[in-house]
Structure 1
Amino acid sequence: MATIKDIAERAKVSASTVSRVLNNDVTLSVSEDTRQRIVRCAEEMQYKTVRERKREKEKLSIHNKRIGIVLNKSVEEEQSDPYFLDIRQGIEDECRNRGLFSTELFRPNCFSFGYPFDELDGLIVVGRLNVKTVQVYNELKEYSKKRANVVYIDYSPCDQMFDSVAVDFEKATNMALDHLLSLGYKSIGFIGACQVEKFGQKKQIMDDLRKIFFEKRMKQEGLYRPQDTYIGNFTMSDGYELMKKAIKRKNLPEAFFIASDPMAVGALKALQENKIDVPTQVAIVSFNDIEMARFASTSLTTIKVHTQEMGKLAVKLLLDRLNGRAIPIKVTVPTELVVRESCGSQLKRKATYS
């Protein structure tokens, strides 16, 4: 195999110059002709830098790895709320990009008879798994005693042991409420869902973090009204039904924070049927920023979550672990406010300047 010295002799330059050119040292002052001559000689002699050789070695070792994806959502739940679907697609896309094709997907109903996780080199767990009632959690626990090659997405059971990729739901919720409060809304309702941890026929229902942080912030502001909180499932149909319930109760809030874009689209439909205009009569900020949010009957102001990037980051963390990293890392993916029509900010701005 060719060395830097061999390339230097053919290109008639020093070995240090060859090294700096091939490693893209931008501080090196050398003519473009000399740079191209060095690169051409390296290609002709089939030279590979240390970084390139390391990447090829990692790719070869990764190709034979078996990775499991544990997804605590059914196919139907994925389709009704694309949050977890996008995360899974991010995982699968990154696996393909890394030449890692030996992946297996497991859903809750696949665990009736358990699964020998010991056959896998690593696991990516998407969504919460109940420590008390989920049998697979015990299998994961046993697997984790032997290996640390488990990455959790959307929550972290133990930051001292495992890698995780998460969203700061408190910051995201406050971002939505900051925006609505800044526009002068005082009466703000919440439409959301519970988190369900399940295995087989067993399930445990818990408050969603967006609901928890919504209540916390509204209480701090002295504006919390429990009667304006509506809870169902993360589906378009439940968003529709919950908004219909809110309309029937009269005294509709001036604005709503809705925990998912599909629920918000359903809520928009209910308001439209009742001839309640968004945003002049009711403002909405939702969550996730799926493609549908841009094309809703009134385009949705929403908190953008980089869901596919969460999946890709999980794969990178797992491969990094498999390559020897011992220290666990928690990555908090930032969110951002995407302002469109449904919050009424344009109307408020016009009123300010009129």
Structure 2
Amino acid sequence: MATIKDIADKSNVSASTVSRVLNNDDTISVQDETRERIFHVAKELGYETILERRLKQKQQTSKHVGIIVTQSLDEEINDPYFLSIRQGIEMELANHGIRTVTLRLHETETNQMIDGLDGLIVVGRVKEIALKAISKVENVVYINHSPNEDLYDAVVIDFEKATEKAIKHLLATGYKRIGYIGGREKEHSKNQKFLSEDKRLTTFERLMKEQKIFDPETVLIGEYTMAQGYELMKKAIKMRNFPEAFFIASDPMAIGALRALQEANLNVPEDVAIIGFDDIEAASFASTPLTTIRVHTLEMGKTGVKLLLDRLNGRELPLTVTLPTELVIRESCKKNK
């Protein structure tokens, strides 16, 4: 970033003269040519005056942004994936001094929530009827869902690629009997829930079928909660052909599953390997630290804010940003066969 001294050196004047000119000090007497030269050099070097910064701050603080959360409070508590995204949004908006209002879609009439807002950030999936109401706001960013990349900004991850990382790691280490434990991905609107395709499940099924080792009996679906992970693993343990490894579609579910295995005196990864999804903070502190797919949820929220600010500053072309994921190897799955 350019400094007063940089401008002074290039303009062949003192630093104090530059400072007073850029800050519109009426008491200083300089030739018009010198004044113009200083402003030209400052612009050339990308220098921002105090007045310009204050004007930007004033413009930002006058903005009012809505955060639409499509999860209930209980869903956020049980699965901190979306909670972390929301926290990233709120942190970044606070850093820019922007006023916010957070609304839960399933509790609020959509057409009542958008009046007076300069922009919206939507976390999760919504049905078309809600989408049409949201669309009345000119600047909308979707996170974890891209309803129409030709119209709206979005921040997403590639669930298909992330699942492939997990399954390919299990296959590479020699596991053949691989089970799946997951939840139901939902779209929300007021007083209603709609099931939607979960790319983790469909990708798992595709990869298993490609390897000719798919067993539908080893696919167990419940809710994205720790308690459901526990109950579904207890059910899996009773199977005659109990899998030697599991891909579990969320870390809270995986932690619940670990408890069920522990109660059954089954060791991880010696008796059964586990790969989770999210890399929540608790994953590294589980009874057996979880191998998992790391999703940068805080950064998803922050990136959504950056896209919205860019829109508010005049960008018209919609952008979709796909954040990378990574496989984090810990003790729950590191056995070489």
TM-score over 0.5 for the pair? yes
Q: 1:272 aligns with which of 262, 268, 293?
A: 262
8 Å contact from structure 2 (residues 71, 106) kept in 1: no
The 5 A counterparts of 1:56-205 are 56-100=54-98, 102-112=99-109, 114-131=111-128, 135-141=129-135, 143-144=136-137, 147=138, 149-205=139-195
Alignment-mate amino acid for residue 77 of structure 1: E
Residues in 2 aligned to 1:6 and 1:183: alpha-carbon distance in whole angstroms: 58
Which residue matches 2:206? 216
Bigger drift between 51-60 and 90-99 goes to 51-60
Q: CA deviation at 1:201?
A: 2.7
Distance 1:282 1:321, change over 3 A: same
Q: 1:206 aligns with which of 185, 196, 219?
A: 196
8 Å contact from structure 1 (residues 7, 41) kept in 2: no
Which residue matches 1:31? none
Which residue matches 2:305? 315
8 Å contact from structure 1 (residues 111, 136) kept in 2: no
Residues in 2 aligned to 1:283 and 1:225: alpha-carbon distance in whole angstroms: 17
8 Å contact from structure 2 (residues 110, 133) kept in 1: no
- 1:263-316 per-residue CA deviation (whole Å, 9 max, x = no partner) reads 000000000000111100100000000110000000000000000000000000
- 1:297-336 per-residue CA deviation (whole Å, 9 max, x = no partner) reads 0000000000000000000000000000111110000000
The alignment of Structure 1 onto Structure 2 pairs a total of residues equal to: 313
Q: 1:246 aligns with which of 233, 236, 255?
A: 236
Q: Residue 112 of structure 2: SS of its match in structure 1? A: coil
Flag structure 2 segments of 5+ consecutive residues without an equivalent.
Answer: 24-41
Root-mean-square deviation over aligned CA pairs:
2.4
Residues in 2 aligned to 1:113 and 1:182: alpha-carbon distance in whole angstroms: 48
Q: CA deviation at 1:207?
A: 3.2
Alignment-mate amino acid for residue 81 of structure 2: Y
8 Å contact from structure 1 (residues 286, 300) kept in 2: yes
Alignment-mate amino acid for residue 107 of structure 2: C
8 Å contact from structure 2 (residues 183, 221) kept in 1: yes
Residues in 1 aligned to 2:17 and 2:160: alpha-carbon distance in whole angstroms: 56
Residues in 1 aligned to 2:268 and 2:257: alpha-carbon distance in whole angstroms: 10
Which residue matches 2:34? none
Which residue matches 2:227? 237
Residues in 1 aligned to 2:10 and 2:55: alpha-carbon distance in whole angstroms: 28
Q: Residue 289 of structure 2: SS of its match in structure 1? A: coil
8 Å contact from structure 1 (residues 189, 257) kept in 2: yes
Q: CA deviation at 1:109?
A: 3.5
Q: Is residue 295 from structure 1 mapped to residue 285 from structure 2 by the alignment? A: yes
Distance 1:184 1:43, change over 3 A: farther
- TM-score where L is the length of structure 1: 0.82
- Percent identical across equivalent pairs? 50
Flag structure 1 segments of 5+ consecutive residues without an equivalent.
Answer: 19-36
Which residue matches 1:21? none
Residues in 1 aligned to 2:104 and 2:269: alpha-carbon distance in whole angstroms: 39
8 Å contact from structure 2 (residues 295, 325) kept in 1: yes
Residues in 1 aligned to 2:81 and 2:112: alpha-carbon distance in whole angstroms: 26
Q: Is residue 342 from structure 1 mapped to residue 332 from structure 2 by the alignment? A: yes
- TM-score where L is the length of structure 2: 0.86
Alignment-mate amino acid for residue 173 of structure 1: T
Residues in 2 aligned to 1:190 and 1:123: alpha-carbon distance in whole angstroms: 35
Q: Is residue 328 from structure 1 mapped to residue 318 from structure 2 by the alignment? A: yes
Alignment-mate amino acid for residue 137 of structure 1: L
